[in-house]
Each structure stands twice: as C-alpha cells, then as structure tokens.
Amino acid sequence: MTPPLQHNQRYRIFWAGGVLSSLGTSLTAFLLNLIAVLPLQASPVWIGLLNAAVWLPWLLLGLPLDVAVNRGNSRRTMAMGQLAAAFVLATIPIAWAVHRLYIAHLVVAAVTVALATVLFRAGYPRLVIGLVRRRELGMANNDLTRAESTTQIVGPALGGLTAAVLAPAFVVAINICSHLGSAVALLRLPAPRNPPMPGTACAEAMRQVRAGWRVTFHDPYLRFFSVQGAVSNAGLTGLQTLMVLVLVRDLGLDPAQAGLAVATQALGSLSGVALAPRICRALGDIESIMLLYPLVGIGGLLLPRWTPGDPHLPHLLAGTFLIGCGVVCGNMIRAGWRQNYVPAVLLARQVTASQSVNIALMTLAAVGIGWLAASAGSSVALSVVGSVVAVSSFGALVGTPCRRRTLPDRPSPALLQAAQLPPPGWVDVR
C-alpha cells in the first residue's frame, strides 16, 4: 500500500533526484553562457546558437523519446540521461585545463544536458503515478514545481558566486555532482508498478499527432493560448539569450552579481507559484488573466533601453521579476483550465502540438536575437525582446478568452468535431 505523501520515502528519493536534475540544468544554462561570454569571448551569434541548442532535442526528438521512454524502463532511461550529461560536462574543465575549450564544445554540452532533461520529463509522469496516491498527484506536482522554481533561483546565484572565486569552467563540477546525484536517486527507486505503454504503429502515431494539431488549431481558445504563448515564449527566449551577455559584457557585472541578477526572474517565478492559486480563487480565471497579462507587459516595457552611462539595471531587474511572476501565474491558471476543458484522451496530443509550436519559435528566437545583437547591438536587441513580450501580453487582452466572463469548462463543438468525438462521448473519455 502506498504511504501518505509526507511519509513516502520513495517519493522523497524521486523528489531529490528531480531537484538535483533541475539544479544541474539551471546551473548549466547560466555557466555555459558565462564561459562563452567571459573566457571564450564568443560573439552574440554564437551565444544565440548556444541557447538555441538547448531546444534542439525538444524540437527534433521530443515526441519519439516520449514514446520510447514510456515503452521501456523509464527510471533506468532517465538515470542514463543524467549520467550522460555528467560525462559530457566533465570534459569541459579538462578541455579548459589543457587550453582546448571551444564554443562548439559548449554547444555539444548544451545539447546533451537538454537531451537528459527531455528524457527526465518524458518519464516523470509515469514514475509519479506509480509512487503516490492518485488523490495526492496534485500535491506532488505542486511540490515538484516549487522545488524546480527554487533551483532556478539557487542555480545561477550559486554558479555566479562560485565563479567569482574559481574559473567558470571548474565550477561545472557542481553540475556534474548534481547530475550524478540525480542518477543515483533514480536508480535507488524500484521499477514502476504500472506497466509500460504498448507499442504504437507508425501510422497510428502519426494519426494521433494530426489529431493533436486539429484539436489545437480548430478550437478558438486552444488556438489563442497556443499562439499567444508561443509568441510570448519567443520573447522570453530572446531575454534568456541576452541576459548574461548584457549583464557581463555591457553592464560590467562580475559573475557573482550576474548570477544574482539572473536569479531575479526565477524569484519572480517562485512568487508566481505561490500566488497563482490564491489569485485564481479570489478573481476567477478571466479576471486573473486580465491582471497577469498586463503585469508581464509592464515587465517587458521595463527592460532597459540604455546608453553606456545610463544602464538602468533596476529597470532590468524589476522587469524580469514581473515577467517571471506573471508568466508562471498565467501558465498555472491556464494549465488547470486546460485539464478540465480538453478530454483526457486528447490532452497529451494537444499539449504536444502546442509545445512543438512553442519550441520551434523559441529555437528561431535564440538564433535571431543573437544575430540581431551582433548586427545592431545588445541594447537594440533587448528593446526588440521587450517589445515582443509587451505586445504579446497587452494584445492578449483583446483575444477570444477575454471577451467572456469566464473560460468554458466543457469542450467546444469545434474541438469535438476536430477530435472526431461525438458530443456525449467526451465525458466517457475523461
């Protein structure tokens, strides 16, 4: 019998593995950018390619790996991904010590760590379902979300403070330890009790993917949230691409200061995790969205348009905090509504279709903003990023959902028609 969550040792082991994996991913995102900007003096174009590399495994391999992981031993596959990330990261300080570290090496490391993250996220739902009681799934997911948001604060701050004492390439040792610890935690878990998913023929898999696309873009609400979210995330990816470059090279911050500044957005995200349930209960879904989207838009407008003698660092920090808080709040409210609105049999396909649009635009945004920063300067590139975030947020206020008093809690006829489900049938597949 599965024990309650607070006494569930297996869940705590899994939670520790998830925290260590998230910490390693957060550290890697900051440190690879810091190494590229400081010792390697990489151009903005290479910085853009480095940040785009983070999304390539999601774009090219996300769906096949999701199927593959859930057809086999997901726990072991997740652990192997963490070990591979630790191995590749271990080559960075070695290459630095022998003066053979190049930007292409960092790109390979970024792709490997992203691949490990894809494997972890693919196997995560099945493992959690096998570890906790069904009625405690929501509590477990919130627990893991809070922990992940915390590591996004601790990671850059820890990496920056440590890089102020040691060479950034040697600070990667912290990443290596976090991925190794995650692998050990995963391997200590018993095999999942729930059986692997059966294999799916290629033609059937393609049919399911097409159904996900039809559902997403035939339904007015899902279409709106998918497109608006993709544009907003493209702007946020541009911000992530520029942050270390701007803080270190343009504003002259040392690694410790840069790490603390990068952690500001994650601090806003953690605040969003705490505030989202309270805001939604107090205001309802539409009123919450109409409050949060302008918050993100104001954050975009606060991103600095500086001159060399007038950097406006407080504007940048305030803007990133508001963006982090508003985006996470909005995402949590939107995800809760979607779970009630989309029939369960269609939910995974709809999320996959929406994410594919997001990731494609995010990859292009990272490359494009790097090119723009190289051609027109970081201040112009950051102005464009802020404008994209602001327009996507304020423009959402005139979208389809905000014309209603509340979001619907039943699938629309357009969704059921696109999914080829009869109107009474959606109840039976939840």
The pLDDT value given to residue 174: 82
**pLDDT at residue 310 tops 60:** no
Q: What is the pLDDT of residues 11-62, one digit of tens each?
A: 777 777 777 877 777 778 888 888 888 888 889 999 999 989 888 888 887 7
Q: What is the pLDDT of residues 177-223, one digit of tens each?
A: 888 888 888 888 776 555 555 545 556 556 666 777 777 788 888 88
Q: Tell me the average pLDDT across 214-243.
A: 85
The pLDDT value given to residue 370: 93
Spatial distance between the Cα atoms of 341 and 236, rounded to a whole number of angstroms: 27
Residue 199 per-residue DSSP state: P
Q: Three-state SS for 72? A: coil
- The CATH number corresponding to 202-418 among 3.30.1640.10, 1.20.1250.20, 3.30.70.100, 3.90.850.10 equals 1.20.1250.20
The pLDDT value given to residue 424: 44
Regarding predicted confidence, which is higher, 5 or 265?
Answer: 265
Looking up tokens 């859930």 gives: 70
Q: Tell me the average pLDDT across 287-295.
A: 81
Regarding predicted confidence, which is higher, 83 or 222?
Answer: 83
The pLDDT value given to residue 430: 36
CATH fold match for the domains 1-200 and 202-418: yes
**pLDDT at residue 91 tops 90:** yes
Q: What is the pLDDT of residues 123-169, one digit of tens each?
A: 776 677 677 766 666 667 667 767 776 776 677 777 777 777 777 77
The pLDDT value given to residue 264: 82
Give the whole-number percent of the chain exceeding pLDDT 90.
Answer: 10
| Across 101-105, 223-227, 272-276, least confident range | 272-276
Spatial distance between the Cα atoms of 41 and 156, rounded to a whole number of angstroms: 20
Spatial distance between the Cα atoms of 314 and 311, rounded to a whole number of angstroms: 9
Residue type, position 190, single letter: P
Write out the two tokens for 254. 């040392």
CB within 8 Å of 323: residues ≥ 6 apart = 236, 239, 265, 268, 296, 299, 300, 389
Q: Which CATH code for domain 1-200?
A: 1.20.1250.20
The pLDDT value given to residue 47: 92
Write out the two tokens for 294. 């302008």
Tell me the C-alpha to C-alpha distance, in Å, between residue 33 and each of 94, 167, 178: 18, 13, 19
Residue type, position 262, single letter: V
Spatial distance between the Cα atoms of 178 and 194, rounded to a whole number of angstroms: 28
Spatial distance between the Cα atoms of 299 and 319, rounded to a whole number of angstroms: 4
Q: How high does pLDDT run on average in the chain?
A: 78
Name the residue among 268, 267, 248 with its Cα closest to residue 30.
248
Rg of the Cα trace of the chain? 21
Residue type, position 125, single letter: P
CB within 8 Å of 201: residues ≥ 6 apart = none
Handedness of CA 328, 329, 335, 336 (dihedral sign): positive
The pLDDT value given to residue 1: 47
The pLDDT value given to residue 293: 84
Q: What is the secondary structure of 353-371 as a DSSP string?
A: HHHHHHHHHHHHHHHHHHH
Name the residue among 51, 60, 48 with its Cα closest to residue 29.
51
Confidence of residue 369 (pLDDT cuts 50, 70, 90): very high
Spatial distance between the Cα atoms of 177 and 307, rounded to a whole number of angstroms: 41
Confidence of residue 427 (pLDDT cuts 50, 70, 90): very low
Spatial distance between the Cα atoms of 228 and 334, rounded to a whole number of angstroms: 12
Contact 57, 115 (CB under 8 A): yes
Looking up tokens 């023929």 gives: 201
Q: What is the pLDDT of residues 112-121, one digit of tens each?
A: 988 888 887 7
The pLDDT value given to residue 367: 93
Spatial distance between the Cα atoms of 123 and 127, rounded to a whole number of angstroms: 6
The domain limits of the chain are 1-200, 202-418
The pLDDT value given to residue 429: 39
